[in-house]
Amino acid sequence: MNVHIAETNRFKPKYSDANFVSFDVFDTFIVRGCTTPDGVIERAFQSSPAANRFPAAAGSYVEHRRQAEARARKAAIRNDGRAEIGIAEIYAVFPFRLFGLSKEALPHLVAAEFAAEHELCRCNPDILARYRELRAAGARTGFISDSYWSAEQLASLLRACCPDLQWDFLYSSSDSGTGKAEKLFGIYLAEHAVDPRRAVHIGDNPIADIDGARRFDISALHVPQASAQLAAIFNREAPAGRLLCQAPVGTLDGGVRTLRRLVAARVPRRSPAFDFGADVLGPVMHAFDGFVAARIAQIGAAGGEVRVGFLGRDGFLPHRLRAKAGDTTSRYVEISRRVGVMAAAATLDPLVRLVREIPAIDAVAFEGLTRHRSKKVAAFFARQPQGRTTGPELAKALPELIDAREIAAIAAALRAELMTYLRAQFPDLDRCTDLVLVDLGYSGSIQKSLRRVFDLEGVSARIHGLYLLSLDDGFVDGDDRDSFEGMISDIVVTPHVKRLLLRNVAVLEQLCCAPTGSVEGYRDGAVIREAALHADAQQALAGEVQAGVLAYAAEAAALAPQLRFAPIADPARDAANVVTMLGRLLLQPTDDELMLLGSLQHDVNLGTTALTPLLDAELLAARQVTQSLPDACTAADPPMWLAGSFAALAPAQSYLYLLFGCNLLPSDLFGDVKCGRIDVVLQDRKGVATTVPVACYRDGFNAIRIRIPMSQAMAIRAISVPIATLATEGRISGPFLQSGASIKLAARSGEIRLLDRAAAAQDGIAWDGDRYAATRDDAVLTIELPTLTDAVAMLSIGVTPAGGARVLALG
């Protein structure tokens, strides 16, 4: 819903009767080009003498300025009972010496902050339009503000934002010594003989503006800065940005956050998916579109014939954005990684590397991947269980199944098809000097494959890769004639953080993707695609999200010039903004986002029909019992969206994962540490019982873990655990069973089996499958085991003691 316009229209009957309409100033009539009001102080610091001496002290300066304001207000209340103060009173208690200043600098600091307000403040165009309508209709209009700026200073700001602005009254709490929540509205009513029944006040603060006005019987219209959902997202973004970006992330974002909340107020609400696209993904992709447009312009400025292709399938949404911006020359180009690798192959090595990444494959999928059929290949798959094998196993066998001459013939045929397709997309390809390829990322495998194809086919065009996220060390073997650039490069974030983002990028890929299957090949210049694997519901959701992204981009492009914001102008700042927004989405999703996106599935897209869920919270919970939280943080996929799976367990878990990804999670706090030993009884299938000591571990949440190894040769039928020794009551996680060829492989296996809890024998314990209570000190839980099929197995149980009893680690 359009908050500003729809709410104002709903209030028009009130306006028609109103003689007086008052407006709040900051965050209602005036907005700032920074994430929070602290941005004004940060900008003031940059132009103050303190910045010359301590250029890295912006954060400290901002906090001390805020603390000075708090001290000044307390002093005013203590001395004469007023909480409203002026800017000079604030700086009078500022720690000048800390920043190498004397008290004579006070007027200069005030002037610097006021100049920062002038630089950053803008009229909210929607509120200004309502203001002009009311004034033209004969209402007396003006401003009532809680501010440390005087009425004279506020007038200067208002005229700077809108030179022809007129008003009938202007009140500042710092002049009156009282605020809107106290007596300021009463002063206004008395001085202008206003009948409160015919007065309206408009503002963003529910206490000062809304409750304050209604205390004096003035009708009030609430225009919030952001919805509750968007405010929650903003609250998560700031710490995420500070953790993820190499350079400190301040509050001066070029007006991006303000633009986002104003666009959110303008774009009609339509569906959760559309709203997510408009509020969350839209700003990310709009910024990437600006990056792409700027780089294309730079390449074109060097002269030559430039052509632009957006790589399918997840280049689909970026291409739609360029088209929406009026670009009619770029093309959506469908080249998959496997097509590129196969077309450029001269040896078996590229195919081996490609196949190794496939989880499972059969003869049909292999033929679709390679266009190759032979008796050797058929015989190999015939020997596999159910005719399927893993990619790594097939990669080992490939040298015996295909030789170099066969690869060369396959590559030449596919290369000819690919070139016919590209010339259909770019009829003047052979005269083109620069081909720009745009993609989400990551290591430019298609770009590098296409370089080899062009060299073989005699096409001399330089290839320039533009990526949202670039895995920069993957380009070390790139051709010197070509270029590549990631908006989020390893200059913006560390390589470790980059891999954290890429580990969770699958959700972004699904939302940006075309509603088609992956390209399989070409015929007469046309694309041959695999069947689309995703369910109709997922395709519809992605379509709604993309519609929201396009709506945001169109509104932002129209609104930013009106506000004189430059949200896409400074490459370093823009990249930090995108890391903040995208990193927050990928690594700190809200519950609303989990509900919306949690059912999405990821397709492997290497000639297989495999679909993998993005989320699997149960698997992560089990991993924390069978291994530890840090081990779970390094889990191989699935789940594809690891951070989302942590968030599905608990918001705090996703934050711990974020800290881990930023190398800020101490292993001795959140890893498992020894906290004692217990004796468990192993009963074999002959009825022989053996008592063995087992180590206990404590995790960062004060839960106890026990892990019991055994071999197939031991023929263990059941394990009895003295549960009351661990805790007399609490919760049990598990029991979980893993197996493998060795203890190490079993312990790290992703195949985690939850054993039948109902089959566990309870002796002196009441257990409902979750919570338990021991009725005596020697209570025992006996767990029945299935027959082991691997050489080694590991049984794991987690116990969370009730009552919060602290479990101490052993030194």
* Residue 143 DSSP SS3: strand
Measure the CA dihedral 73/79/85/90, to 10°. -60
407 within domain boundaries: no
Task: Determine contact, residues 92/106, Cβ cutoff 8 Å.
Answer: yes
pLDDT in tens, 753-762: 999 998 899 9
- Position of tokens 């990056």? 291
**pLDDT computed for residue 338 by the predictor:** 85
Instruction: Give the model's pLDDT for residue 800.
Output: 93
Claim to verify: residue 14 and residue 95 sit in the same structural domain: no
Do residue 81 and residue 203 come from a single domain? no
Q: Are residues 476 and 397 in the same domain?
A: no
Average pLDDT over residues 252-272: 95
Tokens (6 digits) for 128: 């200004």
Q: What pLDDT score does 341 carry?
A: 87
pLDDT value of residue 146:
97
Are 138 and 96 members of one domain? no
Residue 393, in any domain of the structure: yes
| Number of domains into which the chain is organized | 6
Question: Which of residues 194, 222, 250 is at a domain's end?
Answer: 222
Secondary structure (3-state) at 664: coil
Q: Are residues 128 and 208 located together in one domain of the fold?
A: yes
pLDDT value at residue 16: 55
Instruction: Please report, rounded to a whole number, the percentage of residues in the chain having pLDDT higher than 90.
Output: 77
Give the end of a domain, one of 513, 529, 545.
529
Instruction: Flag whether pLDDT at 263 surpasses 60.
Output: yes
16 and 48 in a single domain? The answer is: no
Answer yes or no: is pLDDT of 662 > 50.
Answer: yes
pLDDT, tens digit, 9 for 90 and up, residues 40-85: 999 999 999 899 999 999 999 999 999 999 999 999 999 998 889 9
At 63 the pLDDT is 97
Q: What is the DSSP string of 632-644?
A: HHTPPSSSS-HHH
Q: Are residues 112 and 80 in the same domain?
A: yes
What's the rounded Cα separation, in Å, for the pair 233 and 157? 30
pLDDT of the residue at 8? 44
Q: Could you tell me if 729 and 780 lie in one domain?
A: yes
Share of the chain above pLDDT 70, in %: 97
- Would you say residue 760 lies in a domain? yes
Give exposure, 57-69, as e/b (b: 16+ Cβ within 10 Å). ebeebbebbeebb
The residues, ordered by sequence, that sit 6+ positions from 111 with a Cβ below 8 Å of its Cβ are: none
Closest CA to 286 of 316, 308, 256, 265: 256
Q: C-alpha 642: how far from its chain's center?
A: 12
CATH (domain of 447): 3.40.50
Q: Is residue 578 part of a domain?
A: no
Mean pLDDT, to the nearest integer, of 173-180? Answer: 95
Are residue 457 and residue 506 in the same domain, yes or no?
yes
At a CB cut-off of 8 Å and minimum separation 6, what does 375 contact? Answer: none
Q: Alpha helices, DSSP H only, in 426-505?
A: 445-457, 495-503
Task: Give the model's pLDDT for residue 607.
Answer: 54
Does residue 446 lie within any of the structural domains?
yes
Mean pLDDT of 2-17: 47
Answer whether 37's CB lies under 8 Å from 216's CB: no
107 Cβ neighbours under 8 A, 6+ residues apart: none
Chain-wide mean pLDDT for the chain? 92
Does residue 452 sit within a domain? yes
**β-pair type (704-711, 716-721):** unpaired
pLDDT in tens, 374-412: 888 888 988 988 888 888 888 888 888 888 788 888 889
Query: Length of the chain in residues, anyone?
Result: 811
Mean of pLDDT values over 565-572: 86
Let me know whether 25 and 138 are in one domain.
Answer: yes
Residue 675 DSSP SS3: strand
Mean pLDDT of 271-281: 97
Residue 609: per-residue pLDDT:
67
Asked if residue 779 lies in contact with residue 724, where contact means CB atoms within 8 angstroms, the answer is yes
- Tens of pLDDT along 308-319? 999 989 999 999
pLDDT at 10 over 70: no
Residue pair 249/41 in contact by the 8 Å Cβ criterion: no
3-state SS record for 587-633: HCCCHHHHHHHCCCEEECCCCCCCEEECCCHHHHHHHHHHCCHHHHH
List the structure tokens of 485: 């650039």
Beta strand 199-203 with 219-222: parallel, antiparallel or unpaired?
Answer: parallel
Looking at the domain assignment, is residue 654 inside a domain? yes
Question: Does the pLDDT at position 621 exceed 90?
Answer: yes
Residue 608 DSSP SS3: coil
Please tell me the predicted confidence (pLDDT) of residue 12: 52
- Long-range pairs for 57-64: beta carbons < 8 A, 24 or more residues apart: 57/99, 58/248, 58/250, 59/248, 59/250, 60/98, 61/99, 62/38, 64/94, 64/95, 64/98
Q: How far apart are CA 586 and CA 240, in angstroms?
A: 10
Domain end, chosen from 119, 140, 160, is at 119
- Give the CATH number, domain containing residue 747: 2.60.40
* Residue with tokens 């039948």, as numbered in its chain: 756
What is the DSSP-derived secondary structure letter of residue 333?
Answer: E
pLDDT in tens, 501-518: 999 999 999 999 999 988
- pLDDT one-digit tens code per residue, 545-565: 999 999 999 999 999 999 999
Mean pLDDT across the stretch 659-668?
Answer: 90
Produce one character per residue of 2-20: b if its CB has 16 or more CB atoms within 10 Å, e if not.
ebbeebbeebeebbeebeb
pLDDT at 395: 87
**Contact criterion met (CB below 8 Å) for 332 and 516:** no
Q: Residue 22: give its domain's CATH number.
A: 3.40.50.1000
Tell me the β-bridge partners of 201: 22, 220
Q: Are residues 637 and 502 in the same domain?
A: no
In a domain? residue 495 = yes
Q: Which domain holds residue 393?
A: 349-402
Distance in angstroms (rounded) separating the CA atoms of residues 409 and 427: 26
- Same-domain pairing of 659 and 792: no
Residue 17 has pLDDT above 80, yes or no: no
Is 6's pLDDT higher than 70?
no
Q: How far apart are CA 420 and CA 587, in angstroms?
A: 42
